[in-house]
């Protein structure tokens, strides 16, 4: 049992995004520049929309850290929405400010508009869009950056890479693919990979269905807006067992593998090899050339709502996935090794 958990709050065009993290051991070095750089990475990638030119995401820490080190108490993170300046009235908390400016009622196919408005009984679909927007992933990346700083104390490092954009499988062709889609008023998705190195054996467990680290990683990545596929290691479809499974050797007393098709997980546990997780992001559903849909108010056939959006956000998605994986790894490390301070965690952490 550990108390490592977080909650986030914030609307896309509201004042700010907030997170409270509990369970970070005391004594972790908090490098603000590192967190801000992670936020910057999330804003990048060819095909991002105009919003990314307005925002310059940086984190403010208002609790849980003193003189650059965590205290073991809850950590509060805030990322401001610069765009709120232009949305103050529209996103006002005060009842007297009620307005239908920027309200909309035409469902965007593929977005949360339809199901969310039925579920929460909303007529203005903005009341769904504001939280379903991928804007909330900014604060999640800040949370993941804290997890990465904990991993850094244990010499565990992570990275991610875009592998495919639409039909383009080579980085040199990615921008052209995005340009073609932009020209058509369309959007495009793609595939990315996240890799973490230097992990201990035995994070997760085989003993219950809800303790496998593969299942936890799948949920963590699948729940990023627009992710539709999560794969761990080499996709096994079409493989024979003899070619797929990673044979085990001994070298100077150490277990060694010559392949890593399992992506670093066997039996729901890390096996000491690199963790390799793939994700596939669908094309963003907010499209300049709108799809056919229905107006929730008139119940008439019409075209979907368009608001400025990204043509492609796969690179941003890979950074978010890197952050989510970091969170799951720290959660499992604290569960297995434990420690209220970094010194205690280090002492317990015998890989």
51 binds ligand EPS (CB under 6 A): yes
Q: What is the b/e burial string over 83-108, where b = at least 16 CB atoms within 10 angstroms of the residue's CB?
A: bbeebeebbeeeeeeeeeeeebbbbb
**Of the candidates 5, 206, 308, 347, which one interacts with ligand EPS according to CB under 6 A?**
308
Residue entry with tokens 């977005």: 111
- Give, as one character, the DSSP assignment of residue 240: -
Query: By the 8 A CB rule, do 135 and 84 touch?
Result: no
Among 19, 21, 28, 134, interactor with ligand EPS by CB under 6 A: 134
x-or-dash string of contact with ligand EPS, 309-328, rule CB under 6 A: xx--x---------------
Other CB atoms within 10 A of residue 321 CB? 27
Distance CA 16, CA 24 (A): 23
Cβ at position 50, least distance to ligand EPS in Å: 7
Site track for ligand EPS across 4-23, x = CB under 6 A: --------x-----------
As given in the structure block, the two tokens for residue 258 are: 């010559």
Stretch that binds ligand EPS, among 135-143, 191-199, 290-298, 342-350 (CB under 6 A): 135-143
133 lies in the site for ligand EPS, by CB under 6 A: yes
Q: Does 284 bind ligand EPS (CB under 6 A)?
A: yes
232 close to 216: Cβ distance less than 8 angstroms:
no
Least Å distance between CB 271 and ligand EPS? 34
Q: What are the φ and ψ backbone dihedral angles of 142, each rounded to 5 degrees?
A: -65, -40
Provide the token pair at 211: 């303790």
Q: Smaller CB distance to ligand EPS: residue 44 or 63?
A: 44
Residue 135 contacts ligand EPS per CB under 6 A: yes
Residue tagged 């409270």 (tokens)? 20
Instruction: Quote the least distance from Cβ 75 to ligand EPS, whole Å.
Output: 22
By the rule CB under 6 A, 214 interacts with ligand EPS:
no
Query: What helix, strand, coil percent values describe the chain, rounded to 5?
Result: 35, 25, 40
Is residue 138 a contact point for ligand EPS (CB under 6 A)? yes
Residues 247, 255: Cα–Cα separation, whole Å? 10
Q: Which stretch binds ligand EPS (CB under 6 A): 15-23, 154-162, 308-316, 321-329?
A: 308-316
Residue numbers at the binding site for ligand EPS (CB under 6 A): 12, 49, 51, 83, 133-135, 137-138, 284, 286, 307-310, 313
């Amino acid at each position: 049992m550990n108390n490592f958990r977080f909650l986030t709050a914030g609307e896309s065009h509201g004042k700010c995004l907030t997170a409270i993290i509990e369970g970070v051991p005391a004594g972790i070095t908090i490098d603000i520049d590192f967190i801000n750089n992670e936020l910057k990475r999330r804003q990048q990638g060819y095909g991002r929309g105009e919003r990314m030119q307005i925002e310059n995401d940086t984190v403010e820490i208002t609790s849980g850290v003193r003189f650059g080190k965590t205290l073991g108490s809850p950590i509060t993170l805030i990322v401001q929405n610069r765009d709120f300046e232009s949305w103050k009235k529209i996103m006002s908390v005060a009842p007297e400010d009620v307005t239908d400016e920027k309200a909309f009622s035409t469902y965007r196919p593929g977005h949360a508009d339809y199901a969310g408005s039925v579920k929460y009984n909303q007529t203005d679909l903005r009341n769904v869009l504001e939280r379903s927007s991928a804007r909330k992933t900014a604060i999640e990346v800040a949370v993941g950056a804290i997890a990465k700083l904990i991993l850094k104390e244990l010499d565990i490092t992570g990275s991610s890479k875009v592998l495919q954009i639409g039909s383009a499988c080579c980085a040199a062709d990615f921008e052209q693919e995005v340009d073609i889609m932009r020209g058509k008023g369309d959007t495009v998705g793609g595939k990315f990979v996240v890799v973490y190195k230097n992990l201990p054996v035995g994070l997760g467990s085989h003993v219950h269905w809800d303790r496998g680290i593969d299942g936890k990683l799948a949920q963590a990545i699948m729940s990023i807006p627009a992710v539709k596929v999560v794969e761990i290691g080499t996709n096994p479809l079409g493989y024979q067992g003899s070619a797929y499974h990673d044979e085990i050797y001994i070298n100077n007393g150490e277990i060694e593998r010559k392949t890593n098709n399992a992506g670093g997980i066997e039996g729901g546990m890390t096996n000491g090899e690199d963790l390799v997780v793939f994700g596939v992001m669908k094309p963003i559903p907010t499209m300049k050339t709108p799809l056919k849909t229905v107006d929730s108010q008139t119940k008439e056939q019409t075209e979907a709502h368009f608001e400025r959006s990204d043509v492609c956000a796969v690179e941003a998605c890979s950074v978010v996935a890197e952050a989510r994986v970091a969170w799951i790894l720290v959660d499992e490390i604290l569960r297995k090794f434990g420690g209220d301070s970094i010194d205690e965690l280090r002492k317990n952490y015998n890989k």
